[in-house]
Amino acid sequence: MIKLATQLAQAGVRKDERTGAISTPIYQTSTFCHPALGQTTGFDYSRSGNPTRQVLEESICALEGGRRGLAFSSGMAAIAAIMSLFKPGDHLLVSDDTYGGTYRLFTTLGVQNGLKFSFIDFTNIESWTEFITPATKAVFVETPTNPLIKIIDLEKLVKQAHQYGLLVIVDNTFFTPYLQRPLQFGADLVVHSATKYIGGHNDVVAGLLVTASEELGEQLAFIQNAVGAIPGPQDCWLLLRGLKTLAARLEWAERSALYLAEFLDKHPSIRKVIYPGLTNHPGHDLCRKQARGFGAMISFEVKSKAMVESILKKVKVISFAESLGGVESLITYPETQTHEAIPVNTRRQLGISECLLRLSVGLEDPEDLKDDLEQALDF
Amino acid sequence: MGRGTKLIHSGNEVDPATGAVSTPIYQSVIFAQKDVDSPGRWEYTRSGNPTRAALEATIAELEGGQYGFAFASGMAAISASLLLFSAGDHVLVSRDVYGGTFRLAQRLLPRYGFEIDFVDTTDLDQVKRLIMPHTRALFLETPSNPLMKITDFRAIATLAREHGIITLTDNTFMTPYLQRPLETGIDIVIHSATKYLGGHSDCLAGLVVTDNRDLGKQIGFLQNCLGAVLGPHDCWLILRGIKTLKVRLEQQQRTAELLAKWLQTRPEITKVYYPGLPDHAGRDIHFSQADGAGAMLSFRLQDDEQARQFANRLRLPVIGSSLGAVESIVSIPAIMSHASLTEEMRQELNLNRSLVRLSVGLEDFEDLQSDIIHALEGLG
């Protein structure tokens, strides 16, 4: 079995037998000629299937170790497709600390369509099952969570959830299959905002799903085709291009993240640093057990709300923008950006304070990032 | 700002109108003027395009020059640069160069009335002997392709300046992340950006950089006049490639060094050419002008047939005529990248079919090693 770094570098290679092209061809076509009436080449119409998209879907499927990979036009489109698996009356348990867009989708469109949601803290791994009702059909978790970077025990979660016949869905955006492969622990479905580390260059919006079973794959492929929220061939190709450097990018960004987390941890303007690579993180050992690294996302609280605006204005190398996982480092203010859709009281209950900032560490020289933070944090 | 950070940010100033972090792709041929009397900064994409300008500014900054130019391919960049010279000019070209450059120098430039001599630039005395009063230019590669010979930039640049000769170097193998020839006195740096700068085997491109204002003006004229420009989409892909250049090259270089040292211990391999090896002839000079040994290596098997079988038996590296990509690429230069050399030249360089060139990609070292073991152990 070849290693993940090799699989990544060669994603899509040797797929075009006709020409030998190393780079996957971009099939910018909406439709395909039929050889004859009642015959098909396997491709009919690009919404239903496109050769470039297929290479991407097969690649992510192999990387996650699943049975079926499916590509969507955004991370939210992928999550919306998952939501379409359920019917009125169904109940889902969702990690309380979750991306604001997911929260918004579930609590507005999901609720309008008759679904019920409970947002719970899965780090209480021994007691979360209390929330299960006869109508509960699935658990949807992020690990690490966003933005509080909590680590959920995948092995235990899956074991317990499966005892109750629940489907386990894991958003693996923060870690990617290079660091963590939830299907290995028995999860049923993995979702990605491929906009982040998989694309990796802050230049494509896309989502990916991988299923553990053929059957679930078929159901989601039906939804993908019926709803039609698919990414275009050019975007699929850019994601494949991103995959090729995923290992090299993540390794670099993670080294820098640990360095910056240690620096921030000692800084007088900082109240608290949340990074699983720090030994003071409550999920440090668990993360070490279920992932091959700690990722490159850091959250931290500054000492006062007044500092936030000044920091966001003063950073020069780091951009103040709402995303993560790209080559450029980005700093985000969850309060008004990624998590604004979550009601303020809920945010406070969760521990998302007005002083919390989230840093996506990119590929810049770590010294330059440290210097940039140092001057921005100088009060 | 460190070099590693420049790779991520330079030439990529956030679009002021929208804040877009990624450089916009201006897929536009023309740029409308307000009125007939007010030409804007941009007119016609052959003459200048905002996406191309971002790439040109990036490569100029990385190479430490003032003027950068993007071309449709590495050969378009080399041919435009050599057309700085004209009929009656004598041009020296390094012997051990890429086959495409050799073909241009041997077959096309003489038609324009150029006088060409091929010279071993690692031998300063030989260069001195070939300099004539009408010698105008010297073109070289270091490390050379595929034999990894090292030329001393500073010595060559000093000698050339004394004789009013313009020096041009192909920096494709090293990239500005590892080697910046302008800092050592070279006048013009050229890249096949198809290789490490693009880095993904998906885009052909050439780049030229100079710090000399007069040369910059002339190259700009040639770029616009000849029109071998790089399209906006390809410019953007090269910019995207440059953002991961550091992480790719650092990783590939680590793997290349491990492979080179290990290949030396294999009985099937008679010689390994890699400037990072302790016994490499040009090692000291190389490290006086570069920050690393790169990720290209060549090695020799017992004979032509063994090399052929070896290449065919490999399962991970693709067989192909390129380099510098995320995927490892293997080739037999004598019949591929250097097929356009004359037989006589190949013999003189000892560039026969037993020589294998490996461009080390981002695959895992152990996977590459076991693939090579498999290929070597099955040789007939």
Distances (CA, A) of A61 to A191, A211, B202: 11, 8, 23
Q: Tell me the average pLDDT across A25-46.
A: 88
Q: Is B304 exposed, middle or buried (0-12, 13-18, 19+ CB in 10 A)?
A: middle
Q: Which of B243, B269, B284 delimits the end of a domain?
A: B243
A297 touches B at CB < 8 Å: no
Residues forming a β-bridge with A141? A170
| Most A-contacting residue of B234, B242, B243, B360 (CB-CB within 10 A), to test interface | B243
The per-residue DSSP string of B222-259 comes to HHHHH--BPPHHHHHHHHHHHHTHHHHHHHHHHHHHHH
Q: Which residue has the tokens 């290949």?
A: B263
B46 is an active site residue? yes
Mean predicted lDDT score pLDDT of chain A: 95
Closest listed residue to residue A100, CA positions, set A52, A148, A162: A148
- B310 in the same domain as B282: yes
Given a cut of 90, whether residue A18 has pLDDT beyond it is no
Q: With pLDDT > 90 as the criterion, what percentage of chain B qualifies?
A: 82
The tokens for B197 are 């700068």
| Most A-contacting residue of B9, B195, B291 (CB-CB within 10 A), to test interface | B9
Q: What is the pLDDT, as a whole number, of residue B37?
A: 83
- A157 in the same domain as A52: yes
* CA-based nearest distance B244→chain A, Å: 7
Q: Which of A244, A270, A303 delimits the end of a domain?
A: A244
- B368 in the same domain as B341: yes
Q: Name the residue in chain A with its Cα closest to that of B12.
A: A328
Q: Is A41 exposed, middle or buried (0-12, 13-18, 19+ CB in 10 A)?
A: exposed
Q: With pLDDT > 70 as the criterion, what percentage of chain A qualifies?
A: 100
Reduce the DSSP state of residue B12 to 3 states and report it.
coil
Helices (H), chain A: 4-9, 51-64, 75-83, 100-105, 111-112, 154-163, 176-179, 214-227, 233-244, 246-265, 284-290, 305-314, 344-350, 366-376
| Residues listed for chain A | 379
Q: What is the pLDDT, as a whole number, of residue B14?
A: 63
Band (pLDDT 50/70/90 cuts) for residue B31 is: confident
Domain range holding B253?
245-377
Q: Which helix (H) or strand (E) holds B306?
A: helix B304-313
Given a cut of 80, whether residue A152 has pLDDT beyond it is yes
- A169 in the same domain as A60: yes
- B256 in the same domain as B121: no
Q: Which of A213, A244, A275 delimits the end of a domain?
A: A244
Distances (CA, A) of B137 to A4, B90, B109, B162, B164: 47, 7, 13, 12, 9
Do residue A365 and residue B247 have CB atoms under 8 angstroms apart? no
Given a cut of 80, whether residue B12 has pLDDT beyond it is no
Q: What is the pLDDT, as a whole number, of residue A270?
A: 97
Is the preceding peptide bond at B143 cis, omega within 30 degrees of 0? yes
Q: Which helix (H) or strand (E) holds A319?
A: strand A319-320
Contact B5, A365 (CB under 8 A): yes
Q: What is the pLDDT, as a whole number, of residue B67?
A: 98
Q: What is the pLDDT, as a whole number, of residue B30?
A: 86
- A283 in the same domain as A190: no
Q: What's the domain count of chain B?
A: 2
Q: What is the pLDDT, as a whole number, of residue B10?
A: 65
- Could you report the predicted ipTM of this complex, rounded to two decimals? 0.82
Q: Tell me the average pLDDT across B69-78.
A: 95
Each residue of A190-240: pLDDT tens digit?
999 999 999 999 899 999 999 999 999 999 999 999 899 999 999 999 999
Each residue of A202-216: pLDDT tens digit?
899 999 999 999 999
A340 touches B at CB < 8 Å: no
Residues forming a β-bridge with A42? none
Q: Is A38 exposed, middle or buried (0-12, 13-18, 19+ CB in 10 A)?
A: exposed
Report the alpha-carbon distance of residue B239 to residue B12 in Å, rounded.
8
- B309 in the same domain as B188: no
Q: What is the pLDDT, as a whole number, of residue B142?
A: 97
- A203 in the same domain as A74: yes
B137 touches A at CB < 8 Å: no
Closest listed residue to residue A317, CA positions, set A365, A262, A275, A269: A365
Given a cut of 80, whether residue B129 has pLDDT beyond it is yes
Band (pLDDT 50/70/90 cuts) for residue A33 is: confident
Helices (H), A127-172: 154-163
- A253 in the same domain as A279: yes
Of the candidates B6, B26, B96, B98, the residue annotated as catalytic is: B98
Is the preceding peptide bond at A144 cis, omega within 30 degrees of 0? yes
- B249 in the same domain as B238: no
What CATH number is given to the structural domain containing B308? 3.90.1150.10
Residue B330, amino acid: V
Q: Which of B223, B243, B263 delimits the end of a domain?
A: B243
* CA-based nearest distance B239→chain A, Å: 11
Residues of A in contact with B19 (CB under 8 A): 321
Q: With pLDDT > 70 as the criterion, what percentage of chain B qualifies?
A: 99
Of the candidates B180, B195, B346, B357, the residue annotated as catalytic is: B195
The tokens for B138 are 């010297």
| Residues listed for chain B | 380
Distance of CA A293 to the CA centre of its chain: 15
- B230 in the same domain as B271: no
- B295 in the same domain as B226: no
Q: Tell me the average pLDDT across B267-283.
A: 97
Report the alpha-carbon distance of residue B275 to residue B148 in Å, rounded.
7
Report the alpha-carbon distance of residue B105 to residue B79 in Å, rounded.
9
Q: Which of A205, A229, A244 delimits the end of a domain?
A: A244
- B343 in the same domain as B214: no
Residues of B in contact with A3 (CB under 8 A): 363-364, 366-367
The tokens for B313 are 């038996």
Residues 6+ apart with CB under 8 A from A251: A293, B247, B251
A47 is an active site residue? yes
Q: Tell me the average pLDDT across B374-379.
A: 94
Q: Name the residue in chain A with its Cα closest to that of B240.
A: A201
SS percent in chain B: helix, strand, coil, step 5: 40, 15, 45
Each residue of B172-226: pLDDT tens digit?
999 999 999 999 999 999 999 999 999 999 999 999 999 999 999 999 999 998 8
Q: What's the domain count of chain A?
A: 2
- A271 in the same domain as A192: no
Residue B274, amino acid: Y
Band (pLDDT 50/70/90 cuts) for residue B32 is: confident
CA dihedral B88, B93, B99, B105 (to 10 degrees): 0
Band (pLDDT 50/70/90 cuts) for residue A375 is: very high
- A255 in the same domain as A240: no
- B285 in the same domain as B220: no
B86 touches A at CB < 8 Å: no
What CATH number is given to the structural domain containing A84? 3.40.640.10
A251 touches B at CB < 8 Å: yes
Residues 6+ apart with CB under 8 A from B312: B319
Report the alpha-carbon distance of residue A154 to residue A170 in Å, rounded.
9
Reduce the DSSP state of residue A30 to 3 states and report it.
coil
Do residue B240 and residue A319 have CB atoms under 8 angstroms apart? no
Q: Which residue has the tokens 């491929």?
A: A194
Report the alpha-carbon distance of residue B75 to residue B204 in Å, rounded.
10
Report the alpha-carbon distance of residue B281 to residue B152 in Å, rounded.
12
Residue B108 DSSP class: I
Q: Which helix (H) or strand (E) holds B283?
A: helix B283-289
The tokens for A96 are 């309380």
Angle between helices A366-376 and A305-314 (to 10 degrees): 130
Each residue of B154-170: pLDDT tens digit?
999 999 999 999 999 99
Do residue A365 and residue B22 have CB atoms under 8 angstroms apart? no
- A319 in the same domain as A223: no
Each residue of A317-369: pLDDT tens digit?
999 988 899 999 999 999 998 888 889 999 999 999 999 999 999 999 999 99
- B30 in the same domain as B174: yes
Report the alpha-carbon distance of residue A78 to residue A57 in Å, rounded.
13
Q: How many CB pairs under 8 A join A and B?
A: 119
- A341 in the same domain as A264: yes
Q: Tell me the average pLDDT across B78-107.
A: 94
Q: What is the pLDDT, as a whole number, of residue B3?
A: 81
- A26 in the same domain as A54: yes
Report the alpha-carbon distance of residue A195 to residue A207 in Å, rounded.
7
Domain range holding A356?
246-376
Q: What is the pLDDT, as a whole number, of residue B345?
A: 87
Q: What is the pLDDT, as a whole number, of residue B378?
A: 87
Greater confidence (A377 vs B13) lies with: A377
- B202 in the same domain as B280: no
Each residue of A255-294: pLDDT tens digit?
999 999 999 999 999 999 999 999 999 999 999 999 999 9
* CA-based nearest distance B34→chain A, Å: 31
- A231 in the same domain as A146: yes
Q: Name the residue in chain A with its Cα closest to that of B362.
A: A9
Given a cut of 80, whether residue A15 has pLDDT beyond it is no
| Most B-contacting residue of A1, A2, A315 (CB-CB within 10 A), to test interface | A2
User: Phi and psi dihedrals of B229, rounded to 5?
Assistant: -90, 165
User: Phi and psi dihedrals of A285, rounded to 5?
Assistant: -70, -40
Within 327-356 of B, beta carbons closer than 8 Å to A belong to 327-328
Each residue of B313-361: pLDDT tens digit?
999 999 998 999 999 999 999 999 888 888 898 888 889 999 999 999 9
Each residue of A62-100: pLDDT tens digit?
999 999 999 999 999 999 999 999 999 999 999 999 999
Residue A63 DSSP class: H
Write the residue in B8, B202, B316 that is nearest to A241 by C-beta.
Answer: B202
Report the alpha-carbon distance of residue B270 to residue B266 in Å, rounded.
8
Strand-pair category, B115-119 with B90-94: parallel
Do residue A363 and residue B318 have CB atoms under 8 angstroms apart? no
Record the pTM. 0.89
What CATH number is given to the structural domain containing B217? 3.40.640.10
* CA-based nearest distance B76→chain A, Å: 22
Q: Which of B226, B243, B260 delimits the end of a domain?
A: B243
B254 touches A at CB < 8 Å: no
Residues 6+ apart with CB under 8 A from B283: B150, B275, B276, B277
* CA-based nearest distance A199→chain B, Å: 11
A164 is an active site residue? no
- B188 in the same domain as B43: yes
The 10 Å Cβ neighbour count of residue B266 is 15
- A233 in the same domain as A171: yes
Mean predicted lDDT score pLDDT of chain B: 94
Angle at alpha carbon of residue A251, lines to A250 and A256, rounded to 5°: 95
Given a cut of 80, whether residue B11 has pLDDT beyond it is no
